[in-house]
Every structure is written in structure tokens, then in C-alpha cells.
Amino acid sequence: MSKVQCKYGWSVERLARLAGLAMVGWTAATGGMALAQGAADSKAAPAADEEDVLVMKGTNLEIRGTIIEETDTKIRIKGVKYGIPFETEYAKSDILTIRRGKKAEGTNTTKTPAAPAANPGDTKTPARETKPEPAAAGDQVRVYYAELKGEFGTDITQTPIRRAIKDAQDNKADVIIFMLENELKMRDGSEVSNDVAGLFDQIFRAEAMTPIFVEEIPKQWPKQPKIVFWVKQAMGGASLLPFVCPNIYMSSDARIGGIGYLTEMINRGDKVVADKQYSLRLGHARGWFIAGGYDPRLLHAMAVRDYVLSAKITGDSIEYFERMADPLKGEVLLTDDGAGPNVDSMGDRVRSIGNDVLTLDSKTARTLRISKGTADSLDDLMFQLGLDRTGKIIPGRSKQIMEGWSRDVADATKRLQVLWREYNEVTVAEPGGFDERSKARSTQIAKLNQMLELIRRYEEALADQFPEVQIRGLIDRIKFQQMSDRR
């Protein structure tokens, strides 16, 4: 009895090594994906003097776009930044000033203060107000709670998030709280407990999820819910997800990071190609930071080892400096250049206490006005949101949705591994003639087609481990062999 032999090169050998087991991780080619950021923004955005501008407290960050809704306590604006469309709601208590763009009638731009304006000559950045918005008297606020737990891109992915949000909408939620606690794994399944993995490429998984928050919810909900991210751990690509939201809270031992050493990851081979990939990744993530109201310099500090960032926190103001800190002026170093004597030790990297790249803990995030508060229980969080008396947790289906997705993906992964082994174990029955070879090939194709069906069903979670293009390549080669075979 001899097995059907096929020589498909290195890719199938990798499949065989990891399959029995599990199939190879797959990195999609990204050439040609870089966007001309200026062109993309200018195409979608109006002229600068026609845009409305929100100037955020704590960062002086300018959010440019078109104001589409405004009340006494909040304001909603939509626009495009770095090719990323966004539509976001901000509390007026988080806004320093509002500059109105020119109207169709040609009226002059005006400035409407949402809070007392800073002295124009003062270079300090006022801090973001962190007090929660109180609920209207007598109102009962419907709160939907969902837990995003497990591996980012496998358990935490777009389909279950969309299902949970639809369930929240069906339950008429006013506030949606996403608790985020991801496990960090390398492609071979090994655990990673620090920020040295350089997993910034997971941004491409985050890109499938961010439109849910910046585009789909604004379009699909007549009455916009308040979105809150409660972070217990957000490492790797998961660290980028909360920044699309102006309302971030953290647990005491939470971390946000794990996307460091971007330059080392990309700067290999052709420098022009590397620069494009560098700009592509940072550009997309910058758009999310700005849409959420966060200073994009924090992104650079989290992602790039040789980027230097210092801060000075004085009372209600923050200043950022792209240079080493001056301790005599009360400045604090957030990240150094990571070179020579400044290189973090491996121990510091493992414990995430180095400063080559920025890993945010709850204290630092609170100080930098990224986190609006620290909460170690849902009751604590409800209190900080001002919902301890007026809020009601909706008994939705988020737990069943999230756990059901993870269970189905795990079952599909096991089934794929079994199918792959069975494919490799197909043998040609004696006497080994044309009919026997044809039957063996048909069996192999059937196994591969069953794999394709499962991959398509759970593509967002399985495509990296089980690349469809390679499975199709195997099928095409077997068909070619069959056509070439002779009696």
C-alpha cells in the first residue's frame, strides 16, 4: 500500500509540519496596499475652512469634520482622517473649544466655547475632564454588558461583536460596555506575556473591527448608544481597539501595549517598501486615535523604539515633548531612544517596565488622561459612569454569543486538523492502477473541499492558520495530476 505522493514545495511542507497538529500561519502580502493619505483625506473631506473643528481638552487635539448632531451635553462629528472614515460622539465636558466651519451661505467661521478657553499665550495643554456625564433625573439607563475575552482575531473578532451589538440594539441599550481581556499568543500558539513580540501587524485584524464602532453603529442606530471600553488587558492588536472610543476605563492591573518595535519588524530588505509599510500601519492607527480624541504621539511612543516622548503634568494640564525629559522642569520621560545605554534589559521587557516603547498601565493611562477611571468590578465601573443608581444591566445574550463563537471556532479547528490528517493518510489500494489512483485523488479532493467549507464559515478566525489559497492550490495540483495520469 503506497500513499499518494505530491511534491508541492515549502508551503505544503510547512502545512504538514504544523498540521497534525495545526496548519501554518499565513501572512498576507501587503504590497500595493499603502494609501496616499493626503489624497484619501482630501477626497473625502471638505476644504479646511469649511470643516468644523473640536479642540479637545488635555491634548489640544483637533478633531476636524462635520458636526451632525449637538445637544447641551454632547456633540457628534463625522469626517475622514488618514483614509479612515469616522463618526464619533464626544461629551462637551471633554471639549475645550468648537470652531464652526463656513456655512453654505458663506458666513464667517466662529468659535464657540464648550468650556473656558485657555490663554492663547499659554503653551500648556489643559487636561481632559474625566467626570462622568450624569443621567437625566428620573431616567433609567439601559446598560448592555459584553466580555471580549480570549485570543484577538480568533475569539475576539468582528462576527461575535456585530452579533452582540445587534442584540444590544434589540434590547434598546443606552450604554454598551465592552470588557476587553485578551490572551496574547504567537502564531505557533505559544503564550506571550510582554510587549516584545512586535505584534503591530495585528492592526490588519483590528481594521476589520474598528468600522463597527466608527461607521456601522452611527449609521444603524437612530439613537446613538454610549460605548465604553473597560480594559483588563489589551496587548498586541487588541491594544488599538479601545482607542476608537472616547470612554476608556481600566482595571488596576490592566495593560495596553504589545505593539512595540515596529521599525525593527519592518525595516528589513528594501527601504522604500519598508517605509511604505511603516507609513501604512501607523497612518491607519493614527486615524483611530484621532477619531477617539487621543494624541497620536502616544501611538508612536507605543510602536516605535527610537521615538522619544516626555510629558509634564501640572495640575489640570499636560505638555508633550518629543525629546528627553528635563527633571528640573518637572518633566517625566515616557520613552527614550532605546539605543546604546538606553536599551531595556530583557527582564524589563518581560515585566513591561522598560521605556524603549510605551506600555500603559492603569496609573500611567489615568495620568495621561487616556483612562477616565480605574475600576476593578462592574459595580465600580457603573459608579464611575454615574449609573450606580440610574443604570440597569440588560439580561442580553452577549455571554452565549461570545462563548458560542469561541466554542464553534475551537470545534472547527479540531475538525480541520482531523481532515488534514485524513487527507495525508489516503492510500492507493492494490493493485495500484489508474482506477485506484483516481479514487484516492477523489478522496483527497473531498477532504480538502470539506476543509474549504469550514474555512469559509469561520474565515476571520481561521484564515491565518489555514490559508484557503494553499488548499485551493493542492486541489488544482491533484486535478492536474489526474489529467496527466495514464493507464
- Band (pLDDT 50/70/90 cuts) for residue 208 is confident
Residues 182 and 229 reside in one and the same domain:
yes
273 and 185 share one domain: yes
Span of 119-128, 206-215, 264-273 with lowest mean pLDDT: 119-128
CATH of the domain at 354: 3.90.226.10
| Domain shared by 183 and 323, yes or no | yes
Share the mean pLDDT of the chain: 78
For residue 64, what pLDDT is reported? 87
Whole-angstrom distance, CA of residue 281 vs CA of residue 266: 10
H helix or E strand, kind and range, residue 235: strand 226-235
Is the pLDDT assigned to residue 384 strictly greater than 70?
yes
Strands 175-183 and 226-235: parallel
Residue 385: inside a domain: yes
The residue that leads in pLDDT, 233 or 46, is 233
**Per-residue pLDDT averaged across 336-356, rounded?**
57
| Amino acid identity, position 127 | A
Q: Which residues pair with 149 in a beta bridge?
A: 181
| Nearest of 458, 26, 344, 12 to residue 201 by alpha carbon | 26
* 226-230, 237-241, 281-285, 363-367, range with the lowest pLDDT: 281-285
If asked whether residues 234 and 309 sit together in one domain, one would say: yes
282-336 pLDDT, tens digit each: 787 888 888 888 988 999 898 888 899 999 988 767 888 999 989 899 898 998 7
What pLDDT, on a 0 to 100 scale, did the predictor assign at position 4?
45
**How many domains does the chain divide into?**
3
- Say if residue 188 is in the same domain as residue 288: yes
Question: pLDDT at position 138, please?
Answer: 53
Of 344, 367, 396, the last residue of a domain is 396
**Residue 339 vs residues 104, 200, 268, 344, 357: alpha-carbon distances, Å:** 53, 20, 18, 9, 12
- Least trusted range by pLDDT, from 90-94, 167-171, 400-404, 422-426: 90-94
Q: In this structure, is the dihedral angle defined by the CA atoms of residues 381, 386, 392 and 397, taken in order, positive or negative?
A: negative
Is 460 inside a domain boundary? Answer: yes
Q: Which three cell numbers stand for residue 174?
A: 443606552
Answer yes or no: do 432 and 445 share one domain.
Answer: yes
Domain boundary among 361, 396, 431: 396
* Same domain (yes/no): 391, 354: yes
Highest mean pLDDT, choosing among 31-45, 305-319, 462-476: 462-476
Q: For residue range 243-279, what is the model confidence (pLDDT) as tens digits?
A: 999 999 999 999 998 887 666 655 555 666 666 766 7
| 294 belongs to a structural domain | yes
Q: Classify residue 150: in a domain, yes or no.
A: yes
Question: Which domain-ending residue is among 101, 126, 151?
Answer: 126
For residue 44, the domain's CATH number is 2.30.30
Query: Which tops the pLDDT comparison, 445 or 340?
Result: 445
The mean pLDDT value for 96-123 works out to 52
Boundaries of domain holding 80: 40-126
Which residue in 159, 151, 156, 200 sits closest to 178, CA to CA?
156
The reply to whether 426 falls in a domain is yes
Mean per-residue pLDDT, 424-451: 92
β-partners of residue 53 are 64, 99
Choose the weakest-confidence range: 224-233, 263-272, 341-350, 373-382.
341-350
Beta strands 317-321 and 309-314: pairing type? Answer: antiparallel
What is residue 46's predicted lDDT score, i.e. its pLDDT? 57
465 is a domain residue: yes
Mean pLDDT of 41-45: 45
Same structural domain for residues 230 and 94?
no
The pLDDT, as a whole number, for residue 185 is 60
- Is 35 domain-assigned? no
Residues 16 and 74 in one domain: no
Per-residue model confidence (pLDDT) at position 274: 63
Are 407 and 391 part of one and the same domain?
no
Top-confidence residue, 339 or 96: 96
Query: What are 194's strand-pairing partners?
Result: none
For 128-154, the pLDDT digits (tens) are 444 444 444 456 899 999 999 999 999
pLDDT in tens, 170-179: 999 999 999 9
**Do residues 377 and 467 share a domain?**
no
- Are residues 197 and 330 both part of a single domain? yes
pLDDT of residue 141: 94
How far apart are alpha carbons 465 and 26 in whole angstroms? 6
In the structure, what pLDDT confidence band is assigned to residue 36 with cuts at 50, 70 and 90? very low
**pLDDT at residue 61 above 90?**
no
Confidence of residue 156 (pLDDT cuts 50, 70, 90): very high
Query: Cα 371 to chain center, whole Å?
Result: 17
Q: Is the pLDDT of residue 41 over 70?
A: no
Task: Kindly state the percentage of the chain with pLDDT values over 70.
Answer: 69
Q: Is residue 433 part of a domain?
A: yes
Candidate ranges 73-87, 221-235, 353-367; pick with highest mean pLDDT: 221-235
Higher pLDDT, 27 or 298: 298
Mean pLDDT on 33-43: 38
> What pLDDT score was predicted for residue 168?
97
